[in-house]
Chain A
Amino acid sequence: MGNIVVSPHDKEGQHHMMATPTSNNPNGGSAATAKNKSEITVLLLGAGESGKSTLFKQVQFFHGVGITHDQERIELIEIVRLNVLENAKNLVAATQHLNIPIEQPENRETAKLIINSLNTNDLEDPSWSKRLYSLWKDAGIQKAYENREKFQLYDSTEYLFENLDRICSDKYVPTVVDVIRTRTKTIGITDMKFDVGDGKQLRLVDVGGQRNERRKWIHFFNTVDAVVFLTSLSEFDLNLYEDNGYWRVKESLRVFNEVVNNALFYKVPFVLLFNKRDLFEKKIATKSFSKYFSGFNEAEEKNPVACIEYMTKLFLNEITEHPLDTVSVKTLSAIDHDNSKQVFEEVKQFIMTQQHRE
Chain B
Amino acid sequence: MDSTTPLSSSPTPKTTTKQENGGKTIQKTASKINCLSPLSPTSPAATANGSSSFMNEGVDGDSVSSTGSGGSSSKRKKHKFQARDYCLVFEEAIKDVECMDIFKSFLKNCSSEEMLEFIQEYDRYEKVYKLKKLSYFVSPLRRRSITSGGSATSGESYHSNVTTTASCVSNVSDLSVDWNQLKQGVVELKESALSIIDTFVSKGSKKEINIGSLQKQSLERFEEINKQILTVDLKSTTSSSQGLETLLNVLDLLNPSILFDGMALAISTDLKFDQFPRFVRSDALFKFLQKKGEKYTRSIAINISQGYEIDIRFKPSDLEDRIIDDKLIYFGFTVMQDTPDWEFVKVTDLYQLQLSKTTYFFDNDKKESGLKLHKTVAIFPFPLQDVWNMVCNPENHFKFDPKGNEDFKVRDYFPPNDPIMKNPYALTEIETEPKFGPFMKRRHLPFILSTFYDHGLQGYIVICRSFNDEPNYPDRIHYEGFNYSIYLPIDDYHCRAIFIDYTDIKLPFSNGTLFEKATYKIYSGAKIKGMLKVMKDLSQDGKKRIEMVGNDERNWNKSVELHKELYPERSWYNEWQRLKKF
Contact = CB atoms under 8 A, between A and B. Distances in A.
Interface of A: 11, 13, 16, 18-21, 24-26, 69-75, 78-79, 82, 115-116, 152, 184-190, 208, 210-213, 215-216, 219, 241-244
A69 B84 CA distance: 12
A232 to B, nearest CB: 17
A26 B518 CA distance: 59
B210 interface: yes
A8 to B, nearest CB: 13
B277 A75 contact: yes
19 contacts: A19-B278, A20-B278, A26-B110, A70-B307, A70-B308, A70-B582, A71-B304, A73-B582, A82-B269, A152-B212, A152-B213, A185-B270, A188-B107, A190-B278, A211-B208, A212-B209, A242-B210, A244-B213, A244-B216
Given A13-B281, A26-B110, A210-B210, 15 more contacts: A16-B281, A70-B304, A71-B280, A71-B304, A74-B308, A75-B273, A184-B270, A184-B273, A187-B274, A188-B110, A212-B208, A212-B210, A215-B208, A241-B213, A242-B215
A24 B109 contact: yes
Which has the most chain B C-beta neighbours within 10 Å: A79, A188, A219? A188
Nearest to A187: B112
Contacts of A13: 84, 281
Contacts of A24: 109, 284
B156 interface: yes
A13 B280 CA distance: 11
Nearest to A244: B213
B245 to A, nearest CB: 31
Which has the most chain B C-beta neighbours within 10 Å: A69, A78, A187? A187
Contact of A219 (B111, B210, B281, B582): B111
A221 to B, nearest CB: 13
Contact of B210 (A16, A71, A74, A187): A187
A20 B274 contact: no
B282 interface: yes
B279 to A, nearest CB: 8
A155 to B, nearest CB: 16
Q: How large is the interface on B (under 10, 10 to 19, 20 to 34, 35 or more residues)?
A: 35 or more
B87 interface: yes
A126 B225 CA distance: 46
Interface in B273-317: 273-275, 277-278, 280-284, 304, 307-309
B110 A190 contact: yes
A213 B210 contact: yes
Contacts of B208: 211-212, 215
Contacts of A25: 109
Contacts of B110: 21, 26, 188-190
A24 B283 CA distance: 10
Contacts of A185: 210, 270, 274
Contact of B109 (A18, A21, A187, A210): A21
Interface of B: 84, 87, 107, 109-112, 115, 155-156, 203, 208-210, 212-213, 215-216, 269-270, 273-275, 277-278, 280-284, 304, 307-309, 582
A147 B128 CA distance: 44
B113 to A, nearest CB: 8
B281 A188 contact: no
B107 A78 contact: no
Contacts of A20: 278, 281-283
A21 B282 contact: yes
Contacts of A74: 308-309, 582
Contacts of B213: 152, 241-242, 244
B109 A216 contact: no
Contacts of A115: 156
A225 to B, nearest CB: 19
A72 B280 CA distance: 10
Contacts of A212: 208-210
A185 B272 CA distance: 12
A325 B308 CA distance: 52
A290 B109 CA distance: 44
Contacts of A188: 107, 110-112, 274-275
A264 B45 CA distance: 57
For the complex of A and B, the 4 pairs showing the least CB-CB separation, nearest first, are A188-B112, A212-B208, A188-B110, A216-B111
A317 B155 CA distance: 51
A116 B107 contact: no
B203 to A, nearest CB: 8
Contacts of A16: 281
Contacts of A72: 277
A182 B112 CA distance: 21
A18 B278 contact: yes
Contacts of A71: 87, 280, 304, 308
Nearest to B157: A116
Nearest to A208: B210
A242 B211 CA distance: 7
A11 B209 CA distance: 35
A255 B22 CA distance: 90
A106 to B, nearest CB: 19
Contact of A21 (B277, B278, B280, B309): B278
A126 to B, nearest CB: 15
Contacts of B155: 116
Contact of A82 (B273, B281, B582): B273
A78 B308 contact: no
Nearest to B207: A212
B394 to A, nearest CB: 36
B270 A187 contact: yes
A184 B269 CA distance: 10
A207 B455 CA distance: 51
Given A13-B84, A70-B304, A212-B210, A184 B274 contact: yes
B470 to A, nearest CB: 28
A350 to B, nearest CB: 28
Which has the most chain A C-beta neighbours within 10 Å: B155, B209, B213? B213
A79 B270 CA distance: 10
Contacts of A190: 110, 278
A244 B217 CA distance: 11
Contacts of A21: 109-110, 278, 282
A82 B275 CA distance: 16
B86 to A, nearest CB: 10
A184 B271 CA distance: 11
A21 B110 CA distance: 7
Contact of A189 (B111, B156, B304): B111
Contacts of B582: 70, 73-74
A61 B307 CA distance: 24
A72 B281 CA distance: 10
Contact of B273 (A26, A69, A78, A244): A78
Contacts of B115: 187
Contacts of A208: 210
B109 A11 contact: no
A17 to B, nearest CB: 9
Contacts of B273: 75, 78-79, 82, 184
Nearest to B113: A188
A218 B115 CA distance: 19
Nearest to A245: B216
Contacts of B275: 187-188
A327 to B, nearest CB: 27
Which has the most chain A C-beta neighbours within 10 Å: B109, B111, B216? B111
A52 to B, nearest CB: 13
Nearest to B304: A71
B161 to A, nearest CB: 15
A120 to B, nearest CB: 11
A243 B277 CA distance: 28
A105 B87 CA distance: 44
Contacts of B87: 71
Contacts of A82: 269, 273
